[in-house]
Amino acid sequence: MTRLLVADDSETIRLLLERRLAIEGYEVESVCCGQDVLDRLDGDEAKPHPDVILLDAMMPGKSGLDVLRELRDHGDTTPVLMVSAHRQLDELRELGADGFMTKPIDWDELIAKIEELTGAPA
Protein backbone atom coordinates (compact mmCIF):
# COMPACT_ATOMS: atom_id res chain seq x y z
CA MET A 1 0.00 0.00 0.00
CA THR A 2 1.32 3.46 -0.94
CA ARG A 3 2.13 5.61 2.08
CA LEU A 4 1.47 9.32 1.86
CA LEU A 5 2.66 12.06 4.22
CA VAL A 6 0.41 15.14 4.07
CA ALA A 7 1.36 18.54 5.50
CA ASP A 8 -1.17 21.33 5.69
CA ASP A 9 -1.82 23.96 8.35
CA SER A 10 -5.58 23.68 7.84
CA GLU A 11 -7.13 20.93 9.94
CA THR A 12 -10.09 20.70 7.58
CA ILE A 13 -7.89 20.20 4.57
CA ARG A 14 -5.94 17.55 6.44
CA LEU A 15 -9.17 15.79 7.33
CA LEU A 16 -10.36 16.03 3.73
CA LEU A 17 -7.13 14.62 2.35
CA GLU A 18 -7.05 11.82 4.91
CA ARG A 19 -10.62 10.76 4.23
CA ARG A 20 -10.61 11.11 0.45
CA LEU A 21 -7.21 9.51 -0.11
CA ALA A 22 -8.15 6.66 2.30
CA ILE A 23 -11.20 6.01 0.14
CA GLU A 24 -8.92 5.98 -2.88
CA GLY A 25 -6.87 3.27 -1.12
CA TYR A 26 -3.89 5.11 0.31
CA GLU A 27 -2.35 4.97 3.77
CA VAL A 28 -2.37 8.60 4.85
CA GLU A 29 -0.49 10.26 7.69
CA SER A 30 -0.88 14.02 8.22
CA VAL A 31 1.08 16.72 10.04
CA CYS A 32 0.21 20.35 10.63
CA CYS A 33 3.40 22.17 9.81
CA GLY A 34 6.71 22.12 7.98
CA GLN A 35 8.87 21.40 11.02
CA ASP A 36 6.76 18.30 11.79
CA VAL A 37 7.55 16.93 8.34
CA LEU A 38 11.30 17.27 8.96
CA ASP A 39 10.96 15.80 12.48
CA ARG A 40 8.87 12.91 11.20
CA LEU A 41 11.43 12.02 8.54
CA ASP A 42 14.47 12.59 10.75
CA GLY A 43 13.15 10.84 13.85
CA ASP A 44 11.61 7.44 14.47
CA GLU A 45 13.13 4.83 12.21
CA ALA A 46 10.46 2.42 13.32
CA LYS A 47 7.85 4.27 11.30
CA PRO A 48 8.05 3.50 7.59
CA HIS A 49 9.25 6.18 5.25
CA PRO A 50 6.44 7.76 3.16
CA ASP A 51 6.40 7.01 -0.58
CA VAL A 52 5.13 10.48 -1.53
CA ILE A 53 4.94 13.75 0.41
CA LEU A 54 2.12 16.24 -0.24
CA LEU A 55 3.35 19.67 0.89
CA ASP A 56 1.24 22.74 1.23
CA ALA A 57 3.43 25.48 -0.23
CA MET A 58 2.25 28.15 2.17
CA MET A 59 2.29 27.31 5.83
CA PRO A 60 3.16 29.42 8.87
CA GLY A 61 6.67 28.82 10.20
CA LYS A 62 8.47 26.60 7.75
CA SER A 63 6.66 26.78 4.45
CA GLY A 64 6.42 23.93 1.99
CA LEU A 65 9.16 25.53 -0.06
CA ASP A 66 11.48 25.71 2.97
CA VAL A 67 10.82 22.05 3.77
CA LEU A 68 11.47 21.01 0.18
CA ARG A 69 14.73 22.98 0.13
CA GLU A 70 15.92 21.42 3.38
CA LEU A 71 14.97 17.90 2.30
CA ARG A 72 16.87 18.20 -0.95
CA ASP A 73 19.80 19.85 0.87
CA HIS A 74 19.98 16.76 3.13
CA GLY A 75 19.95 14.45 0.17
CA ASP A 76 16.40 13.23 0.77
CA THR A 77 14.92 12.33 -2.63
CA THR A 78 11.42 11.31 -1.48
CA PRO A 79 9.00 12.43 -4.23
CA VAL A 80 7.27 15.67 -3.29
CA LEU A 81 3.99 17.00 -4.67
CA MET A 82 3.57 20.67 -3.91
CA VAL A 83 0.07 21.92 -3.28
CA SER A 84 -0.48 25.65 -3.59
CA ALA A 85 -2.84 28.38 -4.50
CA HIS A 86 -0.16 29.97 -6.63
CA ARG A 87 1.62 28.71 -9.65
CA GLN A 88 5.34 29.04 -9.18
CA LEU A 89 6.40 26.30 -11.53
CA ASP A 90 9.90 27.48 -12.35
CA GLU A 91 10.91 27.98 -8.76
CA LEU A 92 9.41 24.68 -7.70
CA ARG A 93 11.18 22.73 -10.40
CA GLU A 94 14.46 24.33 -9.50
CA LEU A 95 13.95 23.32 -5.88
CA GLY A 96 13.34 19.75 -6.92
CA ALA A 97 9.57 19.34 -6.57
CA ASP A 98 8.29 16.38 -8.52
CA GLY A 99 4.79 17.67 -9.12
CA PHE A 100 2.49 20.53 -8.57
CA MET A 101 -1.19 20.74 -7.62
CA THR A 102 -3.44 23.71 -7.24
CA LYS A 103 -6.29 24.10 -4.77
CA PRO A 104 -9.06 23.14 -5.03
CA ILE A 105 -7.74 19.69 -5.68
CA ASP A 106 -8.63 17.74 -8.80
CA TRP A 107 -8.62 14.20 -7.38
CA ASP A 108 -8.21 12.44 -10.71
CA GLU A 109 -5.17 14.55 -11.45
CA LEU A 110 -3.72 14.03 -7.98
CA ILE A 111 -4.11 10.27 -8.11
CA ALA A 112 -2.62 10.19 -11.62
CA LYS A 113 0.40 12.10 -10.37
CA ILE A 114 0.87 9.88 -7.32
CA GLU A 115 0.68 6.79 -9.49
CA GLU A 116 3.19 8.31 -11.86
CA LEU A 117 5.60 8.97 -8.99
CA THR A 118 5.26 5.57 -7.32
CA GLY A 119 4.97 3.67 -10.55
CA ALA A 120 2.06 1.66 -9.17
CA PRO A 121 -1.63 2.02 -8.35
CA ALA A 122 -2.57 2.59 -4.74
Partner 1 sequence: MKASLANRLRIGLAVLLVILGGVTVLGVGRLFQLRRDFEDSTSRAFQLQVAAERMRSAFVLEQASLVHFDREPRPARITYNSAADASREATAAAEQLAAHDPRAAALLARRVQAEVAWRRRVARRVLAHHAPPPSFQRQLATPVFDAGSALGLYTLQERQALRRQVSSDSRKTLTLVLIGLGSAVVAAALFFFGLINSMREPLARLVTAARRLAARDLGSRVEVSGPIETATLGEAFNEMASELQGAYRRIEEVRNQLSVTVESLADGLVTVDDGGRILQLNPAARALLPEAESGTAIGEAIGDPQATERLMEVIANRERGEMPATKGERVLSVLVAPLGGERGAVLSIRDVSERARVEKLKDEFVATASHELRSPLTSVKGFAELLMLQRDQMTDEQVENVEIILEGTSHLVQVLNNLLDLARSDAGRLRIAPEQCDVAAMVDEVVKLMRPRIAAKGHRLQVAVDPDLPHVLVEPARFRQVLGNLLTNANDYTPDGGEIEVTAMAVGPEIEVAVRDSGPGIPADKLEEVFGRFNRLDAGETQSITGSGLGLAISKSLVELHGGAIGVDSKLGEGSTFRFVLPAVQAGGPNGAGADGVAATESVGDPQ
Interacting residues with partner 1 (CB under 8 A): 10, 12-13, 16-17, 19-20, 23, 58, 85-87, 89-90, 103-105, 107
CB 97, min distance to partner 1, A: 14
Q: Which is nearer to partner 1, 22 or 77 (CB)?
A: 22
Distance of CA 104 to the CA centre of its chain: 15
Non-local (6+) Cβ contacts of 118 within 8 A are: 2, 51, 52, 79
CB 20, min distance to partner 1, A: 6
Query: Do 34 and 83 form a contact (C-beta atoms < 8 A)?
Result: no
Q: Which is nearer to partner 1, 53 or 59 (CB)?
A: 59
CA dihedral 13, 16, 17, 18 (to 10 degrees): 120
Q: Which is nearer to partner 1, 37 or 57 (CB)?
A: 57
Q: Which is nearer to partner 1, 71 or 92 (CB)?
A: 92
In the three-class reduction of DSSP (H, G, I as helix; E, B as strand; rest coil), residue 69 is classed as: helix
